Amino acid sequence: MPQIFASLDPATYQPHTLHASERMWPETNCYVDLWIEVLASLGATPEAMLGFTLTQDFEGDQFTFFKVALEDLERLYGIRCTELAIFDTIEAHVAMQIGRGRLCLVEMDSYFMPDTRGVGYRQDHGKTTVAINRLDLDGRTMDYFHNGGLFRLEGEDFDGVFQRNAAGGALPFLPYTEFAKFPETPIKTETTRDVATSLLRENFARRPRHNPIRAFAEVFPAQVEAIAERPFGYFHKYAFNTLRQFGANFELLASHLAWLSPEGDYVEEIEHALKISESAKSVQFQLARAITRKKFEPLATALDPAAEAWDRLMAGLGDKLA
């Protein structure tokens, strides 16, 4: 049965340390998480790609859903990733590309993904991205990278993610799909570190002009007061797209800086990045209490430590990257 990483089995798979349970945010978002695991499975260093975290901004209703740029993947690892056109069944396209050694990244419905059991599985429909390592059309099974690991689904879930049981006349299943072509010869770690250093400077130049956490803090209490009138389940969606996004983002930045300079050139900047991440985690608990108690005043200053840490982080990086 063709598969990209033939030695990997979901039953024995060990996630990368960036997904270790002791981290503040063991999972970040579906796209970055799967690339962490794919790169590790390829024998590459996932920490090298994380300089893009410097560009995260507040978008008014959410923080940037941070993603590694496809150009960065090619410069760092020699991986060419581009859109895959869908004009047949998605299964047919994926099977073809796996047979050619290409990894497909497909947007699917988490409702049918057993790894989200207790959160979304058979409860809520949600768009998420997976990378398909193995596809057995006859056996109706699929091994896929998702969030912080490698998983398997089968049977009814297989039919569900590929919408095989859609009602007659339903719109065709045409998800956004990318496919990755891996290099024949891996890029050396020394070269990767040099490229990552250049990308850090480029991403620093693309950082927000104004403190995004402070911008969020200005509207945070009012937003929370508004969502308090909605079903409590909405709280999780709001928290994921705000506090979790910037909290996880800056924990990854800390890991990137630590990898980039084992000599300790960024010790203070790492502390500031971790302060932002820790503050987001703490405020998430405050958010839940505020919604439950309908008391929103304490949220007005809850993000001050994170906003101050962002200023110090950018000032420190500015001095060292100049």
What are the residue boundaries of the structural domains of the chain, listed by start? 17-43+80-181, 194-321
DSSP result, 97-147: HHHTTPEEEEEEEGGG-GGGTTTTTTT---EEEEEEEEEETTTTEEEEEET
- State residue 170's pLDDT score: 77
Cα–Cα distance, 224 to 276 (Å, whole number): 20
- State residue 56's pLDDT score: 98
0.85 cut: is pTM over it?
yes
Low-confidence ranges of the chain (pLDDT < 70): none
Tens of pLDDT along 237-269?
999 999 999 999 999 999 999 999 999 999 999
- State residue 97's pLDDT score: 97
> Bridge-partner residues for 145, per DSSP?
131, 150
C-alpha closest to that of 150 among 2, 307, 315, 11: 11
Q: Where do the H-state alpha helices sit in the chain?
A: 30-42, 70-77, 90-99, 156-161, 189-205, 212-227, 233-239, 245-260, 267-293, 304-321
- State residue 2's pLDDT score: 80
